[in-house]
Amino acid sequence: MKLVKLIANLGYGSRREVQRMFRAGQITDRGGEVLYADDQVAHAEVLIDAEPLDPPAGLLLMLHKPVGYTCSTKDPGRVIYDLMPPRFRLRDPALSSVGRLDRDTSGLLLMTDDGQLLHRITAPKSALPKVYEATLANDLRGDEAAIFGSGTLMLESETTPLAPALIEPLSARAARITLVEGRYHQIRRMFAAVGNHVETLHRQALGGLTLEGLAAGQWRILDGADRDRIGC
Ligand code: URA
């Protein structure tokens, strides 16, 4: 692919804007040689303003989503893309969240521009365990493990019962919940079905992948070992 297209696809600017960056000599190779729009140079060799290019298509990253951010490009409030370089919102292919977390849920969120990978992770048959911690308005009753684990719990306006979910009490009003599916507001609706209310919700892990020291609002690109932890 010609450099001008590669760089425009990474969201650095329109083709016209990127042409201007070439003319201004902002785009060089690692040896400092100025590059031209039609050059075909390996991605890793290209610098813009002496900085390496963002990763090519096939990007997979994890974000520690804070409370108060929406998994959307368009919401009028704060959105997850506000936590990344502005050009990440302009990439082609587009960078999307892998599933969603509610605005009031924090924790581990994957993002990718690889549609097939996104599909593999979210497809029901992937059954990737998603581990959450919830704090609750009321004490646990004691029968939640049986109800959530039954495989027969039917939420309002759903046509199929939930797959069995694991619940481990952490205190009278806190629990760890492991899901293998991801329905709309699932955990909030599960607790509502047993007369409780989720006050805070945080996703700690996906498969063997955890946030490992990533503070709220931080993100990092996943490598091969991380991909192994989520089985893709
Ligand atoms: N369950 C919810 O209710 N909300 C989330 O964001 C994730 C799981």
Domain 60-124+208-229 = CATH 3.20.20.120: no
Give the chain's mean pLDDT: 96
Q: Which stretch of DSSP H or E encloses residue 224? A: helix 224-229
Which one of 105, 131, 199 would you pick to mutate in the ligand 1 pocket, going by the greatest count of ligand atoms within 8 A of its CB? 105
Q: State the pTM of this model.
A: 0.95
**How far apart are the CA of 189 and the centre of ligand 1, in A?**
9
Q: What is the mean pLDDT of residues 104-119?
A: 98
Q: What is the pLDDT of residues 14-64, one digit of tens each?
A: 999 999 999 999 999 999 999 999 999 999 999 999 999 999 999 999 999
Position 208 scores a pLDDT of: 97
Q: What is the mean pLDDT of residues 5-16?
A: 96
First to last CA, the chain: 27
Protein fold of 3-52: 3.10.290
Question: Is the shortest distance between the CB of 201 and ligand 1 below 6 Å?
Answer: yes
C-alpha 98: how far from chain center: 5
Query: What ranges do the domains of the chain cover?
Result: 3-52, 60-124+208-229, 129-206
**How far apart are the CA of 155 and the centre of ligand 1, in A?**
14
The radius of gyration of the chain's CA atoms, rounded to the nearest angstrom, is 21
**What CATH number should be reported for the domain whose range is 129-206?**
3.30.70.1560
Position 232 scores a pLDDT of: 87
